[in-house]
Structure 1
Amino acid sequence: MVHVHDKIVAVCCGSGSQRLQWLGHVGIARYDASNEQGWMQFGRPVAIRNAKGDALAMTDIVCEVLVDKEHIYVDTSRTP
């Protein structure tokens, strides 16, 4: 579950071989559910944190640092 500002976005990661940066980009894009262009409003992911507020490396692999349905929080380059 990806938190982007005031919205929670579910993202299926398959085997989880992607980097956290990808997960941040997808969460931002899907913020705008109808056009998947949330990046126009929020820009790009600049940081990703877990539910405890700890920063995660953008280059970490999803399946190596997250468990299924874990919540992450994305900080964006633009604020609403």
Structure 2
Amino acid sequence: MGSYQSYWQKNLRLILICLFIWFIVSFGFGLLLVEPLNNFSLGGYKLGFWFAQQGSIYTFVGLIFWYSSRMNKLDKEHGVGEE
């Protein structure tokens, strides 16, 4: 039972980390900090605009791959999926 609880605690921690990072990038960089970030440019676009339009999407896709790799490692660590 302890292994089950440990597995889900670690899983929920990964989910919360992903949600926190995505929130910071999409809401923080894309809305709250857009004016200060617009003083910089990326690929000819203002950085605040870029985060609002593309940055949060790229971050989300990157988080999917990161979460998947961490969950594969966690599954192996706890023997999930082995028969």
Normalising by structure 2, what TM-score? 0.25
Which structure is larger by alpha-carbon Rg, 1 or 2? Answer: 2
Report the structure, 1 or 2, having the larger strand content: 1
Question: Which of the pair has the greater relative contact order for Cα pairs under 8 Å at 6+ separation?
Answer: 1
TM superposition score normalised by structure 1:
0.26
